[in-house]
Amino acid sequence: MTTSNDRPPEVRHRPVMLQRCLDLLGPALRRPGAVVVDCTLGLGGHSEALLTSFPGVRLVALDRDPAALELAGRRLERFADRVTPVHAVYDELPAVLGRLGTTKVAGVLFDLGVSSMQLDEADRGFAYSQDAPLDMRMDQTTGPGAAEVLNTYPPGELVRVLRTYGEERFARRIVEAVVREREREPFTTSARLVELIRDALPQAAKRTGGNPAKRTFQALRIEVNGELAVLERAVPAAVDALAVGGRIVVLSYHSLEDRLVKRVLARGAGNTAPPGLPVVPEQYQPRLRLLTRGAELPSEDEVAANRRAAPARLRAAERIREPVR
């Protein structure tokens, strides 16, 4: 029997809003010697399309997950002379480019959140729909997993995680139940946590909004992987790495990510002059031009074909000016 893990990456993964990403990055990638960075390689769907659509481009592909680098490497094997895979978290972009001797790039793509591979592999513990060890680390070679967070964090810290990263209204109720249960027996698997959350929530809260464990699992995943802290460093670093005319495209999957991306791009697209100046000096002029009006959403057809595209929000910008030193 063929499992989801046995299927090739191109079958397991449908890149989200793929054509829109290509259209937005395209004008910057048609220049000779253009370098594009895929900061979230995953199973390589966006990278494969970039390499196919722009035959002159060189790709730097980052991922913190060694398994993703291996699988995507097979998918991109025919482009090996144009691809540099790097095991790194995306806030390490400046250091990666420095090691490669690349000062400026033509394009940067972020496809944030958990990858299809990580969701589909039960032993990673990302999916609340199947029982698995509570891990949720994108890089399983380092750091504590979700079980350690649940079993060791003080109650107040757990409440903060669920409220801040999961926007969970019933964080305190869930944490009170977690603390009672972990004293009886430490958490090790996802099914036990899902059952606890179902029991802790009021009936009305369980009737809307999908699986009641969704927000808690999101919060734990973000905490385990430090996702928002990493993103807060990574997006400004990516903007700084763009050459004039270079473009950045970011796909977010929840409001916390999208708000952070919106803030960074909007700040770059506004002038920073003190109020009241009759003429805005060069050093205060915008560095970016926004390429999307707000956040763009996937089409109904795409969501129907790929349910994982439903929460996607896309923002993009173009570098129009170097900073004045």
Q: How far apart are CA 212 and CA 194, in angstroms?
A: 8
End residue of a domain, out of 170, 202, 225: 225
**Domain for residue 90, yes or no?**
yes
Q: What is the pTM of this model?
A: 0.87
Q: What is the CATH number of the domain that holds 111?
A: 3.40.50.150
Q: Tell me if 90 is assigned to a ligand binding site.
A: yes
Q: Tell me if 118 is assigned to a ligand binding site.
A: yes
Any residues with CB less than 8 A from the CB of 280 and at least 6 apart, and which? 271, 273
pLDDT per residue as tens, the chain (325 positions): 334 445 555 555 689 999 999 999 999 999 888 999 999 999 999 999 999 999 999 999 999 999 889 999 999 999 999 999 999 999 999 999 999 999 899 999 999 976 554 554 555 555 666 788 898 888 888 888 999 999 999 999 999 999 999 999 999 999 999 999 999 999 999 899 999 999 998 877 666 666 888 899 999 999 999 999 999 999 999 999 999 999 999 999 999 999 999 999 999 998 776 776 777 777 778 899 999 999 999 999 999 999 889 999 999 999 998 876 6
End residue of a domain, out of 225, 249, 279: 225
Q: Tell me if 46 is assigned to a ligand binding site.
A: yes
Q: Give me the pLDDT at residue 274, please.
A: 72
Residue 244 structural domain:
9-117+227-319
In this structure, the answer to whether residues 148 and 266 fall within a common structural domain is no
Q: Tell me if 44 is assigned to a ligand binding site.
A: yes
Say how many Å lie between the first and final Cα of the chain, rounded. 61
Task: Note whether 165 and 217 are within 8 A (CB).
Answer: no
In this structure, the answer to whether residues 25 and 113 fall within a common structural domain is yes
Q: Tell me if 111 is assigned to a ligand binding site.
A: yes
Q: What is the CATH number of the domain that holds 218?
A: 1.10.150.170
End residue of a domain, out of 202, 225, 248: 225
Any residues with CB less than 8 A from the CB of 19 and at least 6 apart, and which? none
Q: Six-digit token pair at 126? A: 């990302």
Q: Tell me if 45 is assigned to a ligand binding site.
A: yes
Closest CA to 84 of 41, 53, 117, 125: 41
